[in-house]
Amino acid sequence: MQGQDSVLDHLNIVLKNELTCINQSFLHARMLDNWGIGRFGKKAYKRSIRAMKDADEVMERILFLEGLPGMQELGKLWIGENVKEILDCEMKLELHSLKDLNAAVVECETQRDFVSRDELTEIIENHEEYVDWIEAQLYQVEKMGIENYTQLMAGEGED
């Protein structure tokens, strides 16, 4: 089924952000594991896998609408050098992705592509959930200090 060009453009922007998120979160996950901060590492790992599943959904939708998923382009990776910076960098990318996702939903509404809109809304839920988690972590860092927070996140991550 032929999709609107403007919708396909927005879907490709969302796909680019998801691909960026896969790589950024995965690198953060492995860096955190390497530092022995496994609980945070596990969360970043799960975020990366979630982003891959979201990217898969977007790709399938683009192909269904007879477009070509742009797998070549990747956004700027925001990589932190310590736990606090990693939280900040993850937040930065999430907020950037959410902005593009919201714009994509508006375009889908305008073009009356309600199925794409519903898929994007689900992806927004995943992003908002992670943003909420990061906000909670930043609150904890502020209240207990980065040393205590790092100790809290140390060890093996939960499955």
Partner 1 sequence: MYVCVCRGISDNHVKEAVNDGAQTPKCVFRSCGKKPKCGKCISHLSDHIEAHAGARISPMGVAAE
Least gap, CB of 92 to partner 1 (angstroms) = 9
Question: Is residue 18 exposed (0-12), middle (13-18) or buried (19+ Cβ within 10 Å)?
Answer: buried
Inter-residue contact 135 to 87 (CB < 8 Å): no
Least gap, CB of 159 to partner 1 (angstroms) = 29
Least gap, CB of 89 to partner 1 (angstroms) = 6
Least gap, CB of 88 to partner 1 (angstroms) = 8
Contacts 24+ apart (CB under 8 A), 155-158: 155/36, 155/38, 155/39, 156/38, 156/39, 156/42, 157/33, 157/38, 157/39, 157/40, 157/41, 157/42, 157/43, 157/45, 158/39, 158/42
Site string for partner 1, 11-50 (x = CB under 8 A): ----------------------------------------
Complex with partner 1: residue 81 or 159, whichever CB lies closer: 81
Site string for partner 1, 67-96 (x = CB under 8 A): ---------xxxxxx---x--xx-------
Taking CB under 8 A as the criterion, which residues in 114-153 touch partner 1?
Answer: none
User: What is the dihedral sign for C-alpha 19, 77, 80, 122?
Assistant: negative
Complex with partner 1: residue 89 or 105, whichever CB lies closer: 89
Least gap, CB of 156 to partner 1 (angstroms) = 26
Find residue 155's DSSP bridge partners. 37
Complex with partner 1: residue 20 or 126, whichever CB lies closer: 20
Binding residues for partner 1, per CB under 8 A? 76-81, 85, 88-89
